[in-house]
Every structure is written in C-alpha cells, then in structure tokens.
Amino acid sequence: MRKICTLLFSLVMCFLFANSVFAVGFSQLVKIGDISTDPLSGFHFDGDYHNKGSRYVSKYHKKPGDYGYEKGTVIFGKGKDALYCDYDFAKNSAKMSEHERTGKHVFLFGTSTSLNRQACDFFDYGYEIYTLKRGERIFYVIKSYGSTVSATNYIFLGQQNDGKFVKYIDCDDINERYFDRHKNEFGTTAGLHAPYYNDILISGDAIIINYQLTAPREAYKDAGKFILRWDEAAQWFSIEQVVY
C-alpha cells in the first residue's frame, strides 16, 4: 500500500512539474516610454528613448526649449528589444482615408529595418509604450488616450517567427466586432458611449482587459472583460469576451 501511495504521489508531482514547465505565462507590463502631443509644438518624448528628428516650427513659441519634434525616428529601449517609431506630425491632422490613399501615416512602429514597420494611426493626446514578454517572445503594447472619456485604446504589436512585424490587437477593431461601432473618418471608434478600457491585468497565460459601458445620461459601469491568450500554433492572440 505504501508503494502505491508513493507511486501516486510521484505521478502527481510529475504532472504538476510538467504543467509548470510547459504553461508559459506573460510577464508584467514594463513601461519604456511616452509620446505626448501638443498641437502647437509637435511630439514630445519621455522614458528610455533616443530620438533623431527635426524640431517643430511654430510662430507661437519663442524659446527653442518650447518646441517638440515634427518628423523623425524615435527608439524606445535598447538592444534587440528596442522599438523603432517613425513619426510625422504633419499627418496628425489628416484623415485616415488620406493615409490609406497616400500610404503616409502618423506612426510606423517596428524593428531597426525601416521596411519592417507597422502603420498605427492615432489622433489622441498621449501614448504610453510597454513591453510584455512570454518566454523569449516580446510584445509591445501601446496605450493611447484622448480628449473623450472613452478614447482609451490598446494596440498589441510584435514579430512573428518569420521576422515580420505585425499588429495583433487593436481595440478599435474590437469595438467594431463586438460593439458594432463603425470607424469614423479618422479610422477610430472613440467617441460618446464607446467602451472604456481599464488597465491591463496579467494572470498567468491570460491578458485581461476589463471594460465599462454607458448609456445616454448614465455613468460608465463595469460591463465585461476581454481575455487574450497567445496561440503558439496560430502565431496569434485568441479573444474571449465575458459579459457581466
């Protein structure tokens, strides 16, 4: 009997060990930089960054230190995990349809290879940039926030196994798919009564984004959450919605 118990105990321990080895979870988010927008002085950067760009020229500012940047490339982080971002403030006031027609975008995020970057067009006031790791794989999460209460947006970026830099998740696409909110002329779904996304939570192999909804003349209330998991076989994120 003692031998049977010992054997069962050993099998359980092996099972738990195997699960701990093969169940790869996500790290916590690590902030590496910020981008802020001033309509009178261009883009401003903060965090662990290196910037090569031209200063924004404005008749409203007298001192050189008051100016931000208009066009160039900013690098967040260092080494192989660095995120490159081409920016062009002149495109910040253009419409998305013009971007798609001309191929010119506000931001291009990607690797050190200029042709391996992903277009991301925001029209918000601020952007927080994070890294998120799962084993040896690194993702980049960009949180943008704008002038409206419901303008919070998350975008997940990263490299596939073949090295191609892609955009995995965009909350504007989620808004279209799950909340039937159509993109406006600027290519976003932000605005009155759009979902408000709370801070990202990491729980093992799950990325959890709680959201709130509102109705006319009502305050925002907790309404549900999205659970994102990485599918190694598909090389993409799965999305599960939980409605409260």
pLDDT of 95 over the 60 cut: no
Yes or no: say if 91 and 68 are a contact pair by the CB < 8 Å rule.
no
Residue 179 is predicted with a pLDDT of 85
Residues 19-62 pLDDT 10s: 444 568 999 999 999 999 887 788 999 999 999 999 887 766 65
Beta strands in the chain (DSSP E): 30-38, 42-47, 49-55, 69-76, 83-88, 107-110, 117-120, 126-134, 137-145, 153-159, 165-170, 196-203, 206-213, 221-231, 236-243
Q: What is the DSSP string of 123-134?
A: -SSEEEEEEEEE
Residue, of 18 and 59, whose pLDDT is higher: 59
Contact 57, 24 (CB under 8 A): no
DSSP state letters, 17-40: HHHHHH---BPPPEEEEEEEEETT
Show me where the domains of the chain are located: 24-194
pLDDT-wise least confident of 57-61, 80-84, 107-111, 211-215: 57-61
Q: What DSSP letter does each residue of 43-65 carry, written as one string?
A: EEEEESEEEEEEEPP-TT--SGG
Confidence at residue 187, expressed as pLDDT on a 0 to 100 scale:
52
* Residue at 244: amino acid letter: Y
Tell me: the pLDDT tens digits for 177-187? 888 776 555 55
> What distance in Å separates the CA atoms of residue 21 and residue 38, rounded to the nearest whole number?
47
Residue 139 has pLDDT above 80, yes or no: yes
Cβ proximity of 151 and 194 under 8 Å: yes
Report the pLDDT averaged over residues 195-201: 91
Q: What pLDDT sits at residue 16?
A: 47
pLDDT digits 0-9 by tens, 62-71: 565 567 898 9
Asked whether residue 238 carries a pLDDT value surpassing 70, the answer given is yes
- Per the structure block, which two tokens stand in for 116? 């391996």
Residue 167 reports pLDDT greater than 90 = yes
> What is the C-alpha radius of gyration for the chain, rounded to an integer number of angstroms?
21
Give the HSE-up count for residue 113: Cα atoms under 13 Å, Cβ half-sphere: 6
Q: 36-40, 90-94, 152-156, 233-237: lowest mean pLDDT where? A: 90-94
Rounded CA separation 60/113 (Å): 36
The DSSP bridge pattern shows strands 69-76 and 196-203 to be: unpaired
Contact 144, 122 (CB under 8 A): yes
